[in-house]
Structure 1
Amino acid sequence: MAESGPRRKLAAILAADVVGFSKMMGENEDRTLRNLKACRSLTDEAIKLNHGRIFGSAGDSVIAEFASPVDAVVAATEFQRNLRDRNENATDEDQMLFRVGLNLGDVIIEGDNLYGDGVNVAARLEASAEPGGITLSGKFHDEVCRKLDMSFVSTGEQEMKNITNPVPTYKIEVSALPKKEASSETEPIIETAAEDKGSISDQGLTDKPPAIVVLPFSNMSGDPEQEYFADGITEDIITNLSLWKTFPVISRNSSFTYKGKSVNLKEVSEEMGVRYIVEGSVRKGGNKVRITAQLIDATEDHHIWSERWDRSLDDIFEVQDEVSSSIAAQVSPAVKGQEQNRVVRKQTKNMNAWDEYLRGLSIFNSKGDYGEVKEHCYKSIELDSQLSDAYILICRCLRN
């Protein structure tokens, strides 16, 4: 029997190291190692609290993986902000600056280590970052830019050693981040407190909710051509959940690696670093649609909630909102009765416009012809010029 190929997965990679570390070591080893230990306590804590795993650490460098790009950028901004605040109260000799690179890409799993371009690009991005700064790839930026209230600055495409194609890059203005004591109203990242591995209690505002992943909904329509519709429902539910900004939600790219696979939910929980898993199905027929969804606590191996909706397509957005609202209320009690605090997405009322957009999105996600993607988007805009998602998808095609 032929040997199977190496295991792979999609991961958000964080790479960081100290600026001018060799020079500092040459000047005073004891002081440098003492300061490194103090700074590493800040970086490692932020990575751990945001569901990251450090798999590489040599000298002054740190490499970590995250199931969610949102978790990765939250960890990076948290520890860069904390390091900046530490430096303000330290002597010049005791100050340390870190560079950070963030990338989302395919990696090869080898024991506890990860290899491949996904890791290599993160390392190259880190090397190009400003002292005390954060640089991220275009793919990483696309996953987090609409989910986080922070500013990203395009720094153009960069040629990287041993990487075939130029990599679009962005940076985060760390200098604009508020101090740790700032109120949640001015916090530029999803507000998360210390992790509580026990059950979620009424202290949801101070305990960090565990992460959640929405697996691709099954297409039960009996028509393979309706696959795009089920994928679109899944993606919209992921986006709706992300808008609550009260618990981490695994990105679409990561969750869709399980599409079409028979999965063990316990293994999904461990691989993704999540506690909660949402799965469901979509059946579309004529102007009717049936959506089923269930929320599972994978760590306890039991169903928390399930529901079924039989509606007309005209009510599809209401159903999606009901699904995400019900899941959010189960995962984080803090959101109950807090509908007014949630970001609201304005959806189209023209179902044909939305359908054209979903068809284009499906082709884009499958790396199909961008010309065909734009054609669907233009049809969508002709039907409803206010559907912003179609404009955004066209821009993503043009940038790629």
Structure 2
Amino acid sequence: MAAQADRKLVPIVSLDVVGYSRLTEHNERQTLRLVQRVYDRLVARTIGRQGGKVFKTMGDGLLAEFQSVVAAVEWVAALQRELSERRLKVPGGGHLQIRAGVVLADVLVAGDDLYGSGVNLSVRVQVLSPPGGMAITKWMYQYLDGRTDLQFVDLGPTELKNVSRTVRLYVWHPEGVTQKNAAATASEPIPIPQSSRPSVVVLPFDNLSGEADQAYFADAVVEEITATLSRIKDFFVIARNSAFAYKGRAVDVRQVGKELGVRYAVEGSVRRVGERVRITTQLVETDSGNHIWSTKVDGAVSDLFDLQDKVAAEVASAIQPSIRRVEVERARSKRPETMAAYDLVMRALPHLWAHRMAENPHAIAFLSRALQLEPNYGLAAGLCAWAHGQQVAYNWATDVAAERAEGERLIELATQTVGDDPTALTALASAMMQLGGDVPQAVNFAERALALDPNHSWAWMRLGYGRVYLG
């Protein structure tokens, strides 16, 4: 019989970067570097001095516990003041802002992690914080009476998403906040970022064992799957912090799709029987609720870490082609005048992968139209260069010199624009090899693709070709 988990009453702080999805769409690498720098210098170096401890990080946010209510809000206030003064610039314009929610919660302790409805409540409260400020609950406000100089504004009883009762909230901002604009912040819907790529969320897995240690493992599996999928640039992965708000709640994936603006959801469960563990995973289209793909993996309790890695790798390798198939069908159903550059790339793929003389020109036509809409679309440039490479390598071209020149022009464009997209890097490597270009550089591109996505089968194949060419 599993030992009963400990409980404790602690202040919980939830932090989240405002507009993180939009920022990563503008420049993912720059955004990640900025957020990591803020964490290292303004969070990790200071939180321990106030008796705080981070117990979960989620890419664009974190959860922390404190030993003191006063210390929790004072630390958050100091962090927000520092960010307000520094005005750190973010991709696309504007300055980095963080939302903060602070609650006093009775939580379950499992190892170094905390669980319970109070942890979920902190995330819900944080969502209603003014950007650059913090929101706290009535309990927190009453406890602080006379213990801090911070001036909070009363929002009154407030409805929180997936919370059955209203919660009285109070908000603070370093530049002050009025009752009017505080209420406006609470009532405004959170904008859903528009992404040309398909979007996917990995929802918290159900723990069917009823044991606290397996709940911890279920969360670890979700963390690993999310991190692995995030390396695949063919689709956009919703941050773990947003997905965590659904933990412990029975929700329809169609509702999740509407609330988070995602096309696909990964669901799953963990069940332990004796010394064996079974992890079940499925991919669901949120518009229709249809199941696209599912799998189950069995393993021994003694090999949990290996099992976690195995599940993440299997899910990533299966989901990528599954989503691509659905996206191709989605693009085919659109009227030509409504297609964006991404849709045109999806339309090109079946023609491109057909490897037939009659099909390849159709791929080039779709990809060329995509580049007319978005001239710096690295994936379109890389794939189009590869298509022209096929025209030359397979003797399909009537004007070899013209095909080669266009392919080389697109290689130059792709080299400058592919960024950290494994598929685009692989397409670029393929084009270079087929047009007789710099094979060592092409091998380097394939290796970069595999460093980003170790499960990318096309990159492995292209790397193999490159090494054969090099002898």
TM-score for the superposition, normalised by structure 2:
0.35
Higher share in helix = 2
The structure number with the bigger radius of gyration is: 2
Compare relative contact order (CA 8 Å, sep 6+) and give the higher one, 1 or 2.
Answer: 1
